């Protein structure tokens, strides 16, 4: 047979085998041997057993998390609301008549009393028109008195006296109108507060509705925030509360307002705490925190890093149950201290995940490593 193959190869190559032919034949033989070897070894390993490497890889699929044991203690609860300070009232005072600004008696940032003149518009011919109206009233009154007396004596028809009375009333109406227009040249502060802004200067022309300035009432000051629907029931108008400002001030006050309808976008309710500010040291628009004390509740103190969110965005804590599976607990914030967060809503004793909680899901089997175990590797 070999002689036939050699004879066939000799006929093809013209009686000579080149080096490239031997290389090609060798590669073909190697491929055939590799194929036959794999066929036999695959038949031997068809029992479904895993190799050592595969077994180690399968055993490492259970994630490790670091945990801490926590036991609840009694702590006085509080509703904590994030918000900001705001003026109780802020009004843009506007011109009710037109004219040129003649005087600005109050500077921006000054304290004002109710009735103080903020902007004065030039009278121009208004004072002359007022004098004319006053003179006309005097004339019409004399004419009416004379007509009335003559009508009473029968020397004048009652209709003439009635016409004189109508002319007198019209003159009085005109005088009142001129007095109002003259008064409107003085734009007054509507309440006690701060003259916080003034967009006009002397010589500017103001039309009806143009802004003279902004007056804000800062005493009392409001601290506003939004509270969740599950905590709003604990708040009542008149209840005491504390406001802690980001600037460092802490002040006591009372709840002034609790909304009856929720914000449709956030499903939260607006709350206002009214605090005294007699010297105007606290400003509007400062980030603040409202703390309204409540009753005693069982609470856990945990690091703030333990707080997590579920798929719907609810705040909670991930813990490990007795079977070693992850369970998500919704919690309520009771207090925020430098030592950690006080939360309610957990069982009295719970194993809280402190490291790795963001990488596991509820119901997942995990390997819990105690936080105090030295050398615990996650």
Q: 228 forms bridges with which residues in the sheet?
A: 268
pLDDT > 70 in the chain, percent: 83
pLDDT of 9 reads: 45
Cα-Cα-Cα-Cα dihedral sign, residues 141, 142, 143, 147: positive
The stretches of 45-125 forming alpha helices (DSSP H) are 52-59
pLDDT of 30 reads: 66
- Examine the pLDDT at 230 and tell me if it is beyond 60: yes
DSSP assigned state of 232:
G
- Examine the pLDDT at 47 and tell me if it is beyond 70: no
Q: For the segment 161-192, what is each residue's pLDDT rounded down to a tens digit?
A: 888 899 999 999 999 999 999 999 999 999 99
Q: How confident is the model at residue 33 (pLDDT cuts 50, 70, 90)?
A: low
pLDDT of 344 reads: 87
Task: Tell me the three state secondary structure of residue 60.
Answer: coil
- Examine the pLDDT at 10 and tell me if it is beyond 60: no
349-363 average pLDDT score:
89
Q: For the segment 283-330, what is each residue's pLDDT rounded down to a tens digit?
A: 999 999 999 887 778 899 999 888 888 878 788 999 999 889 999 999
Q: 353 forms bridges with which residues in the sheet?
A: 67
Between residues 36 and 253, the one the model is more confident about: 253
Q: Alpha-carbon distance 219 to 278, whole Å?
A: 6
* Residue 237: count of CB within 10 angstroms of its CB: 11
Q: How far apart, in Å, do the first and last CA atoms of the chain sit?
A: 67
Summary count for the chain: helices (H), strands (E): 5, 20
Q: What rounded mean pLDDT belongs to the chain?
A: 83
Q: Alpha-carbon distance 324 to 347, whole Å?
A: 16
pLDDT of 49 reads: 38
Q: Alpha-carbon distance 40 to 228, whole Å?
A: 69
Q: Directed axis angle between helix 126-153 and helix 158-183, to 10°?
A: 160
Q: Alpha-carbon distance 44 to 335, whole Å?
A: 66
Q: Alpha-carbon distance 261 to 329, whole Å?
A: 28
Cα-Cα-Cα-Cα dihedral sign, residues 6, 7, 9, 15: positive
φ, ψ for residue 213 (rounded to 5)?
A: 180, 180
pLDDT of 178 reads: 92
pLDDT of 41 reads: 44
pLDDT of 29 reads: 65
Write the DSSP assignment of 185-243 as a string of letters: TEEE-SSSEEEEE----TT-EE-TT-EEEEEEEEEEEEEEEEEETTTGGG--TT-EEEE
* Residue 146: count of CB within 10 angstroms of its CB: 13
Cis before 178 (ω within 30): no
Task: Tell me the three state secondary structure of residue 167.
Answer: helix
């Amino acid at each position: 047979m070999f002689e036939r193959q050699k004879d066939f190869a000799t006929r093809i190559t013209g009686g000579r085998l080149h080096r490239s032919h031997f290389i090609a034949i060798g590669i073909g033989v190697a491929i055939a041997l590799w194929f036959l070897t794999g066929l036999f070894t695959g038949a031997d390993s068809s029992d479904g057993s895993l190799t050592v490497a595969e077994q180690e890889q399968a055993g490492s699929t259970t994630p490790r998390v670091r945990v801490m044991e926590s036991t609840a203690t009694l702590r006085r609860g509080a509703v904590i609301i994030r918000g900001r300070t705001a003026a109780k009232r802020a009004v843009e005072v506007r011109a009710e008549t037109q004219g040129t600004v003649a005087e600005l008696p109050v500077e921006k940032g000054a304290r004002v009393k109710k009735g103080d003149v903020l902007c004065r518009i030039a009278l121009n011919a208004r004072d002359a028109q007022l004098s004319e109206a006053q003179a006309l009233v005097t004339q019409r009154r004399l004419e009416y008195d004379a007509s009335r007396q003559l009508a009473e004596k029968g020397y004048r028809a009652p209709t003439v006296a009635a016409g004189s009375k109508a002319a007198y009333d019209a003159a009085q109406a005109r005088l009142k109108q001129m007095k109002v227009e003259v008064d409107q040249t003085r734009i007054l502060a509507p309440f006690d507060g701060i003259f916080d802004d003034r967009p006009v200067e002397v010589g500017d022309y103001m039309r009806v509705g143009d802004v003279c300035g902004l007056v804000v009432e800062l005493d009392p000051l409001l601290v506003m925030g939004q509270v969740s629907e599950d905590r709003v029931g604990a708040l009542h108008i008149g209840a005491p509360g504390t406001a802690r400002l980001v600037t460092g001030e802490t002040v006591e006050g009372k709840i002034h307002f609790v909304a009856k309808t929720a914000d449709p976008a956030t499903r939260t309710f607006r709350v206002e705490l009214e605090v005294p500010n007699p010297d105007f040291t606290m400003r509007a628009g400062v980030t603040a925190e409202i703390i309204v004390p409540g009753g005693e509740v069982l609470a856990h103190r945990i690091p703030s890093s333990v707080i997590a969110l579920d798929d719907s965005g609810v705040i909670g804590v991930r813990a490990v149950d007795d079977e070693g599976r992850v369970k998500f607990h919704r919690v309520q914030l009771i207090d925020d201290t430098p030592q950690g967060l006080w939360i309610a809503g957990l069982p009295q004793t719970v194993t809280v995940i402190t490291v790795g909680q963001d990488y596991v899901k509820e119901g997942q089997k995990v390997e819990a490593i105690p936080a105090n175990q030295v050398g615990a590797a996650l």
